[in-house]
Amino acid sequence: MDAHELGIILISRGMLKFGEFTLTSGKKSNIYVDLRPLPSFPEEFMKIATEMSKRMNGDFGICGVAVGGLPLATAVAIISRRPLIYVRKEKKEHGTESLLEGSLNMRSYVIIDDVATTGGSILNAARIVRNYGPDVKEAWVVVDRMQGAAESLKEEGIELKSLATLPDIVKLVLDSLPERERSYALKYLGEVGV
Ligand X SMILES: O=P(O)(O)OC[C@H]1O[C@H](OP(=O)(O)OP(=O)(O)O)[C@H](O)[C@@H]1O
Ligand Y SMILES: O=C(O)c1cc(=O)[nH]c(=O)[nH]1
Site residues (vs ligand X, CB under 6 A):
24-25, 65-69, 89, 113-121, 149
Give which of ligand Y, ligand X, none residue 120 binds (C-beta under 5 to 8 Å, depending on kind): ligand X
Give which of ligand X, ligand Y, none residue 33 binds (C-beta under 5 to 8 Å, depending on kind): ligand Y
Least distance in Å: CB of 35 to ligand X? Answer: 7
Figure out which of the listed residues 12, 24, 40, 183 binds ligand Y, where binding follows CB under 6 A: 24
Figure out which of the listed residues 7, 61, 68, 71 binds ligand Y, where binding follows CB under 6 A: 68
Give which of ligand X, ligand Y, none residue 32 binds (C-beta under 5 to 8 Å, depending on kind): ligand Y
Using the rule CB under 6 A, is 23 a contact of ligand Y?
yes
| 34 annotated to a ligand binding site | no
Instruction: For CA atoms 1, 67, 79, 63, give the dihedral sign.
Output: positive
| 182 annotated to a ligand binding site | no
| 135 annotated to a ligand binding site | no
Contacts by 80-84, CB closer than 8 A, 24 or more apart:
80/53, 80/56, 82/106
Q: Taking a C-beta distance cutoff of 8 angstroms, is the pair 164, 7 a contact?
A: yes
Residue closer to ligand X by CB (options 157, 178) is: 157
Using the rule CB under 6 A, is 136 a contact of ligand Y?
no
Figure out which of the listed residues 30, 117, 162, 165 binds ligand Y, where binding follows CB under 6 A: 117
Figure out which of the listed residues 9, 33, 73, 163 binds ligand Y, where binding follows CB under 6 A: 33
- What end-to-end distance do the CA atoms of the chain give, in Å? 23
Q: Which residues are annotated as a binding site?
A: 88-89, 92, 94, 113-121, 145
List of residues contacting ligand Y (CB under 6 A) = 23-25, 32-34, 68, 115, 117, 145
Q: Which residues are annotated as a binding site for 5-phospho-alpha-D-ribose 1-diphosphate?
A: 88-89, 92, 94, 113-121
